[in-house]
Amino acid sequence: MSPERAFSFPNGSLLAARKELAADPEGEYPEVGRLAADAADAWLSERFGAALAGSSPTGMALLAVGGLGRRELLPGSDLDLVLVHDKRKDARRVAERIWYPIWDDNCNLDHSVRTPKEVLSAAEGDLKVALGLLDARLVVGDEKLAADVLARVNRLWQARRERWLRALMDSVAARHKEFGDVAFLLEPDLKEGRGGLRDVHALRAASKVTSVLNATVHDPALDHAAAELATVVAALQSLPGTAAASAHRTRLLLQDQDAVADRLGKGDADALMARVAAAARTVAWANDDGWRRVERWIAGPGGRTPGADRPVGPGLVRRDDEIVVLADADPAADTSLFLRAAIAAVEVGAPIARASLERLAAETLPPSDPWPEELRRALVRLLDSGPEAIAAIETLDQAGLWVRLIPEWSVVRNRPQRNAFHRYTVDRHLLETAVAASGLVRRVSRPDLLIIGALLHDIGKGRTGDHSKVGETLAVTIARRMGFPEAEAHTLGVLARHHLLLPDVATRWDVDDPDTAAFVAGVVSDVGQLELLTALAEADGLATGPTAWGGWKAELVESLARRASTLLAGETFEIERPPPTPAEQALLDARTIGVVGDDHRVTVVTPDAPGMLGVITGVLALRGVDVRGATVLTTGDGMARQTFEVAPAFTHLPSWTKVRDDIEAARDGRFALEVRLAESEAAYRRARRARQARPPEVEVSVHQEASESATVLEVRAPDASGVLSRIASTLANCDLEIISARATTLGGEVVDAFYVRDLAGAKLSDDRAEDAAKAVAAALSG
């Protein structure tokens, strides 16, 4: 027990003592973890003594493993215990007298009772057990027995260490693949993810059987980062009355981030996530560096001693499977040396040597203004190197070199994007976009502008004002500093200012309305800029997340860009509505309700009647269909053909026959559509609260300028089951005709645009348009 503190246990409860320690607003890790472990040791010692009932402890020892073994006990940590005995007949009885009070105290327990031989056998058969035993220590009992067991475990590790270290490396890589990066995810797992606490534990455990990790695990930066992550996890697990109260919770959800930040008293949720990202990046870098050292050590004498130098560029060689800066190179004078080292690391598949990285960090100066041409060329080449460039840039960033190159990066570095639409922090998103853009360079005449434009397109985030407008000014400033001519710097500013233009317009407005393409052509000044914006839209979408880009959006953006390009070239185009397919025509001729569809599009033929769009979209929502676009065409003879771009809300699309039956039943009043939609909306609302810290407000705006023939109502509202149906029904109740619609989901928000006219076929007056907007807002807010 810690000599600085004696522990009291209210009502004999260890859990109460642990909660008291965790509730200390000034308590930080690792000190609180050590105190909690000391409290557990004291409590367990009492239970052990009581369990022995006066008999001798000789031949019996209680070992702690896991967090308790490391003296890093978090509020939600299990008590991991092994009762080792030298074939004592009373071992099971003693164990039960220890375990039952732990369970009665509502503490989580991972336990086993084993002889020394059984301990070794379990370790040989299970890497997790073997790894845990590296952290094992005696809590109470026979010191000689415990020392003998732990010595035998260590000898076993020494005999198996190369094989087991390889297995541990593989398990670390598999865990990273499953849980992703703590530093860059919206809702990271602070223990299991790459850069999380489990990485620290694995490195420190491995350092006990190989000396090549000494420098890594004794780095004060790693200690600080681990303490930061542990403190946040402890705050998360200590939250009352939320999902975070789960004993094993280590995933930091959006809904808990504000509360954790408030509990720690160190800024808001954004500041909290920036701290988490910074700590996780330090851990991830140490992890990568440490396991590379282990891998070289395992490789044997050839991997442990330097090999012959192989030149990989001016001032750079590959030595001992690392990129090394030669002694006679001058990082202060050779301004592109650090970028060329990163390029070599990517192309050769070897990391920059740690000593070389430290030298580059110490000696590289901020570039001149404007940059020398070779520096700009090196940056473009690095970004054009493919996905592996991200790890190399992360290394430069960890050393402080990336911000030295682009000082404006400091504002977006580690900045979270707290919505479910984005999966990465701003800085990681910019790098992912640049890498995605590198795969699209053959589509544009200026690949360098595309790649740099992708790198800078969100550089305005984190500052006051519209990030696109702010980003335009910053991008021009940075481009001039990089040495781009004024016209090209202006183009990079346009890419930052209008990077959302094509996807926003294509998904919100009707691309088949000629006015839509005319609007885009009026914003973009030439075909070259439009070409770059089209490629950037795809790269940005691919880098944002799985819901941000797909075949449907790509088709819309490409169609819109093609038509706008035609206008910019001084030519015209005509849009022809597609004629009915034979199957659709047969339904029209039959003058009945019918549905035909495939994996991307469904057409519903119905008699023309007010409110049918609301009925159809309501049924589609209940059947698990996401509607992304709608076109309504009347035939003039009392029939309507309504075509929807669709995607499954869950795993697959429904039977269109069942959809047809439901539409007919809802139209005839045999199907309680409004009741079912209300029930579905309640379920969506609960799920939305679990995913979003700040649900979006309902906003309905009028855009008379978007079309000459119709009024456009744009609706932004929280995502919900049947929201499209409620909007359509409300507009029908306002005696308005819906010509077409676009529906887009941005994380937890829907953005729907409806082209409407009055029943006489005319655009709405301003007053009537405002009345319709208010009616829709009221329907969605109620």
Residue range 125-145, pLDDT digits in tens: 888 899 999 999 999 999 999
Range of the domain at 326: 306-405
Residue 677 predicted with pLDDT over 90: no
The strand pairing partners of 318, in sequence order, are 310, 323
Percent of the chain with pLDDT over 90: 59
CA dihedral for 209, 213, 215, 219, sign (positive or negative): negative
Q: Tell me: do 587 and 569 sit in the same domain.
A: no
pLDDT at 689: 46
pLDDT at 632: 78
Q: Which one of 270, 301, 332 terminates a domain?
A: 301
pLDDT at 725: 86
Q: Tell me: do 630 and 762 sit in the same domain.
A: yes
CA 774 to chain centre: 36
Is the backbone peptide bond immediately before 503 cis, with ω within 30 degrees of 0? no
Token pair 């939250």 is found at: 239
CA dihedral for 717, 720, 724, 727, sign (positive or negative): negative
Q: Tell me: do 145 and 191 sit in the same domain.
A: no
List C-alpha distances in Å: 96 to 14, 47, 51, 266, 516: 17, 11, 8, 44, 75
pLDDT at 420: 60
Of 395, 396, 424, 399, which is closest to residue 412 (Cα–Cα)? 424
Q: Tell me: do 447 and 392 sit in the same domain.
A: no
Residue 571 lies in a domain: yes
Task: Please give the angle made by the CA atoms of 94, 135 and 107, to the nearest 5 degrees.
Answer: 50
Residue 29 carries which side chain, given as an amino acid letter?
Y
List C-alpha distances in Å: 95 to 135, 654, 741: 21, 56, 68
pLDDT at 1: 36
pLDDT at 254: 85
Residue 173 predicted with pLDDT over 80: yes
Residue 196 has φ and ψ, to the nearest 5°, of -95, -175
Q: Which long-range contacts (CB under 8 A, 24 or more apart) does 701-706 make?
A: 701/773, 702/766, 702/769, 702/770, 702/773, 703/753, 704/763, 704/766, 704/769, 705/519, 706/509, 706/513, 706/515, 706/516, 706/519
pLDDT at 246: 52
Q: How confident is the model at residue 308 (pLDDT cuts 50, 70, 90)?
A: confident
Residue 638 has φ and ψ, to the nearest 5°, of 90, 5
Q: How confident is the model at residue 307 (pLDDT cuts 50, 70, 90)?
A: low
Residue 318 predicted with pLDDT over 70: yes
pLDDT at 244: 44
Residue 171 lies in a domain: no
| Mean pLDDT value across the chain | 88
pLDDT at 598: 85
SS3 state at 325: strand
Q: Tell me: do 496 and 524 sit in the same domain.
A: yes
438 with 385: CB under 8 angstroms?
Answer: yes
Q: For the chain, how many structural domains are there in total?
A: 5
Of 650, 684, 661, 682, which is closest to residue 615 (Cα–Cα)? 661
Q: Tell me: do 311 and 287 sit in the same domain.
A: no
Residue 647 lies in a domain: yes
pLDDT at 301: 58
The CATH number for 15's domain is: 3.30.460.10
Residue 243 predicted with pLDDT over 50: no
Residue 65 predicted with pLDDT over 80: yes
Residue 654 predicted with pLDDT over 60: yes
pLDDT at 306: 52
The strand pairing partners of 602, in sequence order, are 597, 644
Token pair in block for residue 604: 């519903």
Q: Tell me: do 318 and 293 sit in the same domain.
A: no
Q: Tell me: do 706 and 685 sit in the same domain.
A: yes
pLDDT at 12: 66
How much is the average pLDDT of 31-52? 91
Percent of the chain with pLDDT over 70: 92
Task: Please give the angle made by the CA atoms of 147, 152 and 158, to the nearest 5 degrees.
Answer: 125
Angle between helices 486-497 and 467-482 (to 10 degrees): 160
Residue range 407-436, pLDDT digits in tens: 999 999 989 886 666 778 899 999 999 999
Residue 228 lies in a domain: yes
Residue range 428-451, pLDDT digits in tens: 999 999 999 999 999 999 999 999
Residue 750 predicted with pLDDT over 60: yes
pTM of the model: 0.78
Q: Which one of 518, 552, 576 terminates a domain?
A: 576
Residue 35 predicted with pLDDT over 60: yes
Q: Tell me: do 665 and 629 sit in the same domain.
A: yes
Residue 78 lies in a domain: yes
Among 21-25, 152-156, 612-616, the range scoring the smallest mean pLDDT is 21-25
Phi/psi class of residue 63: alpha, beta or left (left: φ > 0; alpha: ψ in -120 to 50)? Answer: beta
pLDDT at 326: 96
Task: Please give the angle made by the CA atoms of 500, 505 and 507, to the nearest 5 degrees.
Answer: 100
Give the Cα separation of 747 and 417 in Å (integer): 11
Residue range 96-117, pLDDT digits in tens: 999 999 998 888 889 999 999 9
- Fill in the DSSP letter of residue 513: S
Residue 166 lies in a domain: no
Contacts of residue 703, Cβ cutoff 8 Å, sequence gap at least 6:
711, 712, 713, 714, 753
How much is the average pLDDT of 315-322? 91
Residue 102 lies in a domain: yes
Enumerate the H helices of 545-590 as residue ranges. Answer: 551-568, 582-590
Q: Which helix (H) or strand (E) holds 291?
A: helix 269-298
Q: Tell me: do 553 and 665 sit in the same domain.
A: no
Residue 745 predicted with pLDDT over 60: yes
Q: Exposed, middle or buried: residue 383 (CB in 10 Å: 0-12, 13-18, 19+)?
A: buried
How much is the average pLDDT of 553-571? 92
Q: Tell me: do 421 and 401 sit in the same domain.
A: no
pLDDT at 3: 43
Token pair in block for residue 719: 């995502």
Residues in the chain: 782
Q: How confident is the model at residue 524 (pLDDT cuts 50, 70, 90)?
A: very high
Q: Which one of 557, 576, 595 terminates a domain?
A: 576
pLDDT at 384: 95
Q: Tell me: do 468 and 436 sit in the same domain.
A: yes
The CATH number for 277's domain is: 1.20.120
The CATH number for 420's domain is: 1.10.3210
Residue 303 predicted with pLDDT over 60: no
Residue 612 lies in a domain: yes
